[in-house]
Structure 1
Amino acid sequence: MTTQTAKNKAMTERLVEWDKKHYFHPTTPLKEQQAKGPAHIFTHGKGIHVTDVYGKEFLDGVSSLWNVNVGYGRQELADAAREQMMTLAYGSSFFNNSHDVVIRLSQKLASMAPGDLNVSFFTSGGSESNESAIKIVRHYWKMKGQPERKKIIALERSYHGVTMGATSATGVPEFKNMITAIAPDFLHALPHQTECELGDSSAPGYERSIRGIIEKEGPETIAGVILEPVQGVGGIQIPPEGYLQAVRQLCDEYGILMMTDEVITGFGRTGKMFGVEHWEVVPDLMSVAKGITSGYIQLGAVMMTDRLRDELADLSDNVFFHGFTYSGHPTACAVALKNIEIIENERLVDNAKQMEQELWKGLNYLQDTHKIAAKPRAIGLMGGIELLADPDNGTTFEPSTFAAPAVVEECAKRNLILRPLIFGGLNVIAIAPPLIVDKQDIETIIATLSDSIQAFEQRVM
């Protein structure tokens, strides 16, 4: 062993121990982290690949946390951040102050968003965006003289973040079970009950549909409905045709505000700039984050209609007492503008739509090739395949099998990073690579995943 190799090995061992001793990881099995240290320590990223401290290169098949849309190592984004830091590193938007970059980003988002979603309130990420949307909706009804309108209806299997309101809106039980109390006035409906939302009271599940809950609770108590255009963490659940339109019509019928969570689906992920555009629906508020900067820096936003902003302005002469220190951070806004420029100039939304066909082809191949692979789904570059013990009978794996995590672990051995979605008894493998991927990249992902499923099948079948 050379002197340099020995030094590198010693440094890596120190990093592992420091991680175990000093770093409290988010969304991580803490006992495993304390026993084994971090699963990976990444040091470099370029294109669709990341490299760990041992020099091993991985294909990132999920864009880290669904967010590195333009890929790693974009010099343009680093340059944009540096230039803005040297020009105006920070600027507060409190007390009616502003700066040129946040104004330009607000205008740019307005030009991109569907309908009249022309106004942006900025946050540092998705949880803050959804938390803000919920607070804005409740504040609106209070200002309208209807403070009893405070209940929020979300969907089962939904994920909206980890702040108190966002956690309470989340329909994945595991995220709520870790706290001793959730915020009041959050209700959860069965997802994707199109006929129920259109008014068919004879349809199964009517009482647990959004419409059924509205009728039971009384529309005069409902402030808003929040939903993801495509459920991500809940298993890549794509709504049936007509569902989002039915929810929009239902909200209009009862004067309820509709909020969509585009934190994952925004900025090209689904083959449209925003997920709702697949169904030509315009919500009253739309939360964004992740892809707005491709993860290069923290930023999120709540976009709202002109009408909603105008009403809020007319209804009160008081200060709007909600904001974050980093709302509209100049450097984050500069990176977002450059990131959006890359997405547009490189036609990455079109590429996501074109690569959807390749992803579908690969997912169908997995279903045809492997006994346990079933229910492929994809929209743009957001796809998944489900693992079932017996797909013909819909029999799931025993929880102790950890089917999806085991397959993802096999993928990691083969230099591919994917994500298991195991909430609510599901075993779904999520695939969501950066929007810069090509046909060969998709084929590599599918071939590696196929080998990994085969290895798992040989072990358990």
Structure 2
Amino acid sequence: MNIKTDPTIDWAARDARVVHHPHGDVTDPARLVLVRGKGSTLWDADGRDYIDAHAGAWLTQVGHGREELARIAAEQMSTLAHFTIMGDYANIPTIEFCERLIARAPKNMAKVRLMSSGSEADDEALQLVRLYHHKRGQPQRTRILVLRGSFHGRTYGGAELAGGRPGIGDVPNNAIMLTPPLSYHSELFGGDDPTDFCVRELEQTIARVGADNIAAMFGELVMGPAGMIPVPDDYWPRMVAVLKSHGILFVADEVVTAFGRAGAWYTSLDYNLTPDIIVLAKGIASGYVPLGALLLDGNLADVLDGAGGGGSYAGHLMASAIGSANIDIIERENLLEASRLRGKQFLDELGELINLPIVGDVRGRGLMIGVELVSDKATRQSLFDTFPRLKKEIPLFTRRKHGVITAIHGGAVALTPPLVITPQEVSKVADAVGDVLARVNIHTGQID
């Protein structure tokens, strides 16, 4: 379908005047103004179509243009759009939605706290793990274990979990950075097995800091912003066993991985984990409304019963109705299996790219695919350390030449399309990425 807007209107110029873009380039006024989507296809204001291999920040699980979700939103808004769930107020869509989240979760999960975004949910999880220990008479347990290079939101709490970010002021020195299990980067482990190395480092860190000073560990079950990095299968089970033996809570950050993105309702289930908290957002409503949540272990929920937080929009009726309908679509269309199948197809079709001089690793779990780019295969130095401009130029070239929307994260081309992507579309994306990467001159950084 050819969708065009009024050609006399310069939407890009109007955008540049008034919209402040996160990670925007103030020196480049160019904008891709999107106006419509259907399935895994997007259209811009000039009528050009694109395959969406980005899913609008990895979250449009059920694809674009779902009219049934629009109808459900309209019906709920015309009945009752929102009323707070603070105190003793409740509503039916939120009750039903929380029941459905718990029904699909690890068996120890008992309660749901709702909010509006993943960053907000991570921030609240940080507050809750400290409050839990405070209520149990251990207020000194404030320090947090995190993996170096991980991402847990854009709030001030998220900055604290990252060990601070330049220019935002002092951040409490509470985050303890651990070596991430980046199997491709074997230089990190001194010849040891990555999991053995990381478990030993965790035990040594706990002994040095003192378990009685550590509140929790936050972990992305697949490291997304770091470059779509699946961890060794034994990594999280062994790490969590150590944490639990010392009374340290485990917060599974599944903002990206849940709702089929990594091939399961919750990746915690794939690893047989029983986290104390699971952090959710992104695919929880496929981006049709802003929505985030925390799933709480039963014991932790009992200790924290009545704790504040959640925000004004917690338990939003329309958002809950959309969340339930999103679950219906994922189940009805078997999108968990689709994620696994299309992810395997990506890995199969992209696998031969390892022979290109700039490709160091091709990896993924479900529809979280990463193609790591290097300037030196021996040292594994990132291509973007050598040619920083390629971080922008590779996705731009892919989009303009092939009509495929991709992104760069953590030194890798990240492919995270809607779970409804077809086998034919996967092949088109793989061919486009292969063509562009084959054009990159490893010596000059030019795309020929």
Q: So what's the TM-score if we normalise by structure 2?
A: 0.91
For 1:2-17, what aligned pairs fall within 5 Å after superposition?
8-11=6-9, 13=10, 15-17=11-13
For 1:420-459, what aligned pairs fall within 5 Å after superposition?
420-422=408-410, 427-457=411-441
> Quick check: which one's helix share is greater?
1
Q: Distance in 2 between matches of 1:243 and 1:379?
A: 15
For 1:231-310, what aligned pairs fall within 5 Å after superposition?
231-310=223-302
- Give the superposition deviation at 1:393: 4.5
Q: Distance in 2 between matches of 1:445 and 1:363?
A: 10
Q: Deviations over 1:78-127 (max 9, x none)?
A: 11101110111111111221101111111010101122212100010100
Of 329, 333, 339 in structure 1, the residue corresponding to residue 326 of structure 2 is 339
Q: Which moved more, 1:359-368 or 1:398-407?
A: 398-407
SS in 2 for 1:460: coil
User: 2:22 is matched by which residue type in structure 1?
Assistant: P
* Contact map agreement 2:279 2:293 (CA 8 A) in 1: yes
- Give the superposition deviation at 1:178: 3.9
Counterpart of 2:404 in structure 1 is 416
SS in 2 for 1:85: helix
Q: Where does structure 1 lack aligned partners over 5 or more consecutive residues?
A: 314-318
Q: Deviations over 1:116-167 (max 9, x none)?
A: 2121000101001111111111111111111001111111010011111122
Task: Say yes or no: does 1:357 pair with 2:344.
Answer: yes
* Root-mean-square deviation (Å): 2.3
Q: Distance in 2 between matches of 1:250 and 1:38?
A: 50
The size of the alignment, in residue pairs, is 432
Q: Which moved more, 1:221-230 or 1:87-96?
A: 87-96
* Contact map agreement 1:19 1:38 (CA 8 A) in 2: no
Counterpart of 2:181 in structure 1 is 192
Distance change >3 Å, CA 230–CA 205, structure 1 → 2: closer
Counterpart of 1:385 in structure 2 is 371
* Contact map agreement 2:128 2:304 (CA 8 A) in 1: no
User: 2:175 is matched by which residue type in structure 1?
Assistant: F
SS in 1 for 2:8: helix
Q: Distance in 2 between matches of 1:260 and 1:278?
A: 13
Of 146, 153, 178 in structure 2, the residue corresponding to residue 154 of structure 1 is 146
Counterpart of 2:85 in structure 1 is 93
User: 1:190 is matched by which residue type in structure 2?
Assistant: T
Q: Distance in 2 between matches of 1:193 and 1:57?
A: 36
- Give the superposition deviation at 1:18: 2.3
User: 1:390 is matched by which residue type in structure 2?
Assistant: D
Q: Distance in 1 between matches of 2:61 and 2:128?
A: 29
Q: Deviations over 1:418-449 (max 9, x none)?
A: 11114xxxx21001111011221111001011
SS in 2 for 1:343: helix
Counterpart of 2:22 in structure 1 is 26
SS in 1 for 2:256: coil
- Give the superposition deviation at 1:398: 5.8
For 1:99-110, what aligned pairs fall within 5 Å after superposition?
99-110=91-102
SS in 1 for 2:304: helix
SS in 2 for 1:96: coil
* Contact map agreement 1:165 1:183 (CA 8 A) in 2: no
Q: Distance in 1 between matches of 2:211 and 2:241?
A: 14
* Contact map agreement 1:421 1:429 (CA 8 A) in 2: yes
Q: Distance in 1 between matches of 2:384 and 2:96?
A: 52
User: 1:58 is matched by which residue type in structure 2?
Assistant: Y
Distance change >3 Å, CA 107–CA 190, structure 1 → 2: same
Distance change >3 Å, CA 394–CA 184, structure 1 → 2: closer
User: 1:430 is matched by which residue type in structure 2?
Assistant: A
For 1:367-406, what aligned pairs fall within 5 Å after superposition?
367-368=354-355, 370-397=356-383, 399=385, 401-402=387-388, 403-406=390-393
- Give the superposition deviation at 1:356: 2.0
Task: Say yes or no: does 1:143 pair with 2:139.
Answer: no
Of 304, 307, 311 in structure 2, the residue corresponding to residue 324 of structure 1 is 311
Of 152, 162, 165 in structure 2, the residue corresponding to residue 170 of structure 1 is 162
- Give the superposition deviation at 1:408: 1.4
- Give the superposition deviation at 1:400: 5.3
Of 109, 124, 128 in structure 2, the residue corresponding to residue 117 of structure 1 is 109
User: 1:188 is matched by which residue type in structure 2?
Assistant: M
Q: Distance in 1 between matches of 2:262 and 2:182?
A: 22
Q: Which moved more, 1:323-332 or 1:38-47?
A: 38-47
Q: Distance in 2 between matches of 1:52 and 1:298?
A: 23
Of 171, 179, 191 in structure 1, the residue corresponding to residue 168 of structure 2 is 179
- Give the superposition deviation at 1:269: 0.7
Q: Which runs of 4+ in 1 moved over 4 A?
A: 203-207
Task: Say yes or no: does 1:348 pair with 2:344.
Answer: no
Distance change >3 Å, CA 193–CA 26, structure 1 → 2: closer
* Contact map agreement 2:162 2:175 (CA 8 A) in 1: no
Q: Which moved more, 1:88-97 or 1:333-342?
A: 88-97
Counterpart of 2:186 in structure 1 is none
User: 1:243 is matched by which residue type in structure 2?
Assistant: Y
Distance change >3 Å, CA 257–CA 340, structure 1 → 2: same
User: 1:417 is matched by which residue type in structure 2?
Assistant: I
- Give the superposition deviation at 1:258: 0.4
Q: So what's the TM-score if we normalise by structure 1?
A: 0.89
Distance change >3 Å, CA 205–CA 227, structure 1 → 2: closer
Distance change >3 Å, CA 258–CA 336, structure 1 → 2: same
User: 2:385 is matched by which residue type in structure 1?
Assistant: P
Q: Deviations over 1:278-326 (max 9, x none)?
A: 211120100000101000000000001112112333xxxxx52323000
Distance change >3 Å, CA 417–CA 193, structure 1 → 2: closer
* Contact map agreement 1:156 1:190 (CA 8 A) in 2: yes
